[in-house]
Structure 1
Amino acid sequence: MYSLTFCARRSLEFQKWRNLRVSVQNAFALFNSFSFASASDLSLRDGRKGNNFTVSYLVNSLGLATKLAESISRKVSFEEKGNPDSVLKLLRSHGFTDSQISSIITDYPRLLILDAKKSLGPRLQFLQSRGASSSELIQIVSTVPKILGKRGHKTISVYYDFIKDTLDHKSYEKSTQGNLKNKIRNLSVLRELGLPQKLLFSLLVSDCGLVHGKEKFEDSLKKVVEMGFNPTTANFVLAMRVVHGSRDKTIEEKMDVYERLGLAVGDVWEMFKKAPSSLGISKEKIENSIETFLGLGFTRDEFAMMVMRYPQCIVYSAEMVKKKNEFFVKKMNWSLKAVVSNPSGFGYSLKKRITPRCNVIKALMSKGLLRSKPPPMSSVLAITDKDFLNKYVMMHNDKQLVHGLMAIFTGDRVSLTDKKAHLEQ
C-alpha cells in the first residue's frame, strides 16, 4: 500500500479492504481554479492570570456552568470586565442572543480578548459590506466564530465565501490569489466527498498542515478512501491526519509490529478503521503497550484479541492500564479472561464511571443482595447510567437502601429526587 515492497508483499490481502470507490481526481478537477489570500491567526494570550475572575465572569455574564467556565479559563483569561463587556455589547447590538453568544464564546473563547472597537467591530462591518444580512451574519458567525479572529479583508472574504457557499449548498468558483488556495481547494474536495460541515469548518479555521498542501493531501486522501473510510465520519479526518503525518516506511514498521503480535494484515487495517490512533502512535509506544499488557499476565493471543475488539487500549499509558487492571482484577475479582472479553473497560473513567458503579456492586454483595461473585463486567460498566440504576438500585423496595446506594453512586453530589427526575427525562 505504501512502498513498492510493502505493496508487493501485501497487495492480495489488502484488495478486499478497498470497498469505497470515489473519483477523487474528478473532485480535485472541479476546484483547480481556486486561489486565495493568505491568513494568520491571533496570537495566544497567557491564560494563567485572572483565572478566578474569568470563571466568575463567564458564569455570571454568560450563564455558563462552572466546570465549563473553568475549562474555558485554561484557554483564555482576563482580570477585568471592560473589554469582555464591550465584546458582548457589540454582539448584542448586531442581534446575537445571549444563548448564541454563550455558544460562540464556548467555541471560540479568545473572542472575549479581541478589541471590540478596533478589531471585532470592523470585521463585523466588513462581513456586512460583503452582503451578509443580519440573519446570515448571525448564522455564519455562530457556525464558525473563529472567522472573527482572522486578519485581513481578503482572508475574511475568502472564509466568508466558503462558509456561506457551504451553508447554502451551492457550487461556485472564485479566482483570487494568495496562500489559501490549496486549503480552500482541498476543503472543497472534502465537501464534495460528503464531509460534514462541522468537520469542514474545523479544518477551515485550524492551523494543521493536513489541508495546506496539494500533492501530499491528494495522496493521503486517495489512500484513506481506498482503505474504505467513510467520508461522512470524524474517523475519516483522523485517518487522514495519521496517513498525512506518517512516512510510508514508518507505517510499514508499525504494521510489522502488529504482525509479530499475530495479527493478519486485514485485521490491522480493520483495527485502523475502528481507531485511526492505533497507527498514529509511535512504534515504540506500540511495543511498550504490548510489554505492559504481557507484564500484567495477558498472553500475546489475548492481547491481540483485545486490540482487535478495542484498538484504543493500545494508546493508553502504562500507568493508567495498570491502575484500572488492578481495580478490575484485585478489587472486583474479575478474571483476566473477563477483561479480555471487555477491553473497552480501559476506556471508562475510573473516577466517574468505574469506581461509583463498582462500589454499588460491592455494597450489594456485602449485604447479600447479590451472589458472592460480581456480575459480568459488561452488565456493570457497558450499560448506561439509567440502565445501571434501574438494574441495581431502583429495583429495591427498601427506600433507605435505595437512598444509600444512590449516595454511593453519586458521592452525595445529587439527591435521590434529582436523580429520579433525571432518569424520567
Structure 2
Amino acid sequence: MDVSSPQNGSIVGFFRGRGFDDKNIHDMFKKCKRLQGAENERASENWDYLKSIGIEERKLPSVVLKCPRILTLGLNEKLVPMVQCLTTLAKKPSEVALVITKFPHILSHSVEEKLCPLLAFFEVLGVPETQLGKLLFLNPRLISYSIELKLTQIVDFLASLGLNKEGMIGKVLLKNPFIMGYSVDKRLRPTSEFLKSIGLTELDLQRMAVNYPEVLCRDVEKILRPNCTFIKTCGFGDRQVATLVAGYPPILIKSIRNSLEPRIRFLVEVMGRNINEVVDYPDFFRHGLKKRLELRQRLLRRKNVGCSLTEMLECNQKKFSDKFDLNNKLI
C-alpha cells in the first residue's frame, strides 16, 4: 500500500504523529485493508480510549501493530462493550489492560456472538463462573477458536480418555487452557497413543490429563520419545519406565541435560543409591537439585543417617529436621 496516497493521508499522518515509521505503516495497511480510508478521528478516539483503560502509551504502538483493526472499530459498538464485559470477569482492573496488550485481537470479537457463547461453553464443562476470567486471561486466544470446529473436538478427545465425570474437563482446562489450541489429530492423539504404547493405563492417562495436561501437549518425536529413550539407557526396564512416567509424568518433558541427567548422576555417584530406588519414589525428579537434594544429602551424611528417598524428601524442611534431629540447622 502506498502510504503517500491522498486517500490514506489522514490516517498515515496519525500514525507518523505517534512514532510509526513507513515500514510499520505499510505492514499495517497490508494486514488490515480497513485502514484504507480510515478516519483519523475514530483512530484518535480509539487510541485515547485504550490509554484510558490502563494500557501504557509506550505499549500502544505494539498493540496496534499486532491488531491495527482496533483503530477502525466503533468505540461504543465494539470496544467499550468488550472492555466492560472483560472487567466483570477480572479479579483486578489491571488484568483487562494486560490481556488486551497480550492479545489485542480480543477487542475485534463480538461480546454477543463470541464471548458469551464461549463462556457458556466452558461453564457447561464444569469451569466455575468465578474462574472463567482466569481461563480467558491466561489464554485469550480461546475467543478466536470456533466452538463447533475446534473446541468441541478437544472436549471429545478428553472425554475419550475417560474424563467424562462432571467437572473433570473443566479442571483440565483450568490447569492448562493452552491445550485447547492444539490439534487432536496432529498432537494430542499421537501423544496419548505413545503414552499407551509405553505402558500407561487409561487411569494413568486420566490422572496425567488432570494433573499434568502439559505433557499431553508435547511432541512425541521431539520431546517424549527422546526422554523415554534416555530413561531406558539409564538402566530402567519397560515396566519401570511406565511406573516412573505414571508416578511423575513431567519426567517425559524435563530437559535431559539440565534436569534428568544431573539428578541421575547425583543419585548414583553422590548419594550412592541404586537407580531402582526412584521407581518407588518417582517424585525424586520433582525436587530441586541444589535446594533440596544436595542440601538434605549433606545433612544426612553429616549425621551418618540412612533412609529411603521417600523419608528423605516427602516432607517439608521443619519435619525433615525434626525427624532426623537436626535442630533446624539447615546449613
User: Normalized against structure 1, the TM-score is what?
Assistant: 0.49
Q: Which consecutive residues of structure 2, in runs of 5 or more, have no partner in the other structure?
A: 1-47, 55-69, 92-106
Hey, what's the Cα distance between the residues in 2 that align with 1:223 and 1:268? 12
Q: Does 1:297 align with 2:207?
A: no
Amino acid at match of 2:154: S
Contact 2:135 2:174 in 1 (8 A): no
Contact 1:187 1:200 in 2 (8 A): yes
What is residue 343 of structure 1 aligned with on the other side?
282
Contact 1:195 1:231 in 2 (8 A): no
Aligned-CA RMSD value: 3.3
Q: Does 1:155 align with 2:155?
A: no
Cα deviation per residue 1:126-160 (whole Å; 9 max; x = unaligned)?
A: xxxxxxxxxxxxxxxxxxxxxxxx98564343232
Amino acid at match of 2:263: K
Query: 1:340: Cα distance to partner?
Result: 0.9
Hey, what's the Cα distance between the residues in 1 that align with 2:170 and 2:321? 32
Identify, as 1 or 2, the structure richer in helix: 2
Cα deviation per residue 1:311-330 (whole Å; 9 max; x = unaligned)?
A: 12111111110101111222
Contact 2:158 2:169 in 1 (8 A): no
What is residue 183 of structure 2 aligned with on the other side?
246
Hey, what's the Cα distance between the residues in 2 that align with 1:222 and 1:252? 11
Hey, what's the Cα distance between the residues in 2 that align with 1:165 and 1:253? 35
Query: 1:344: Cα distance to partner?
Result: 1.0
What is residue 173 of structure 1 aligned with on the other side?
none
Cα deviation per residue 1:28-81 (whole Å; 9 max; x = unaligned)?
A: xxxxxxxxxxxxxxxxxxxxxxxxxxxxxxxxxxxxxxxxxxxxxxxxxxxxxx
Q: Does 1:179 align with 2:109?
A: yes
**C-alpha distance 197-377 of structure 1, shift in aligned 2 (>3 A):** farther
Identical counterparts, % of pairs: 19
What is residue 253 of structure 2 aligned with on the other side?
315
Contact 2:155 2:169 in 1 (8 A): no
Which stretch of structure 1 is more off in the superposition, 152-161 or 324-333? 152-161
Correspondence for 1:385 among 317, 321, 328: 317
Correspondence for 1:218 among 152, 166, 170: 152
Hey, what's the Cα distance between the residues in 1 that align with 2:205 and 2:289? 28
The residue correspondences of 1:25-424 to structure 2 (distance < 5 A) are 122-123=52-53, 154-161=78-85, 163-164=87-88, 179-180=109-110, 181-196=113-128, 199-206=131-138, 208-213=140-145, 214-215=147-148, 216-225=150-159, 227-228=162-163, 230-231=167-168, 234-238=171-175, 241-242=178-179, 244-284=181-221, 285-319=223-257, 320-365=259-304, 370=305, 374-394=306-326, 405-406=329-330, 408=331
Cα deviation per residue 1:365-404 (whole Å; 9 max; x = unaligned)?
A: 1xxxx2xxx3111111121122112222455xxxxxx6xx
Q: Which consecutive residues of structure 1, in runs of 5 or more, have no partner in the other structure?
A: 1-117, 125-149, 168-176, 396-401, 409-425
**C-alpha distance 292-338 of structure 1, shift in aligned 2 (>3 A):** same
Amino acid at match of 2:321: L
Cα deviation per residue 1:166-222 (whole Å; 9 max; x = unaligned)?
A: 98xxxxxxxxx9524324421233235442466422333355533422221233234
Cα deviation per residue 1:211-252 (whole Å; 9 max; x = unaligned)?
A: 422221233234435642735865333466335402325434
Contact 2:175 2:210 in 1 (8 A): no
| 2:276 match: secondary structure | helix
Which stretch of structure 1 is more off in the superposition, 317-326 or 216-225? 216-225
Count of matched residue positions in the alignment of Structure 1 and Structure 2: 242
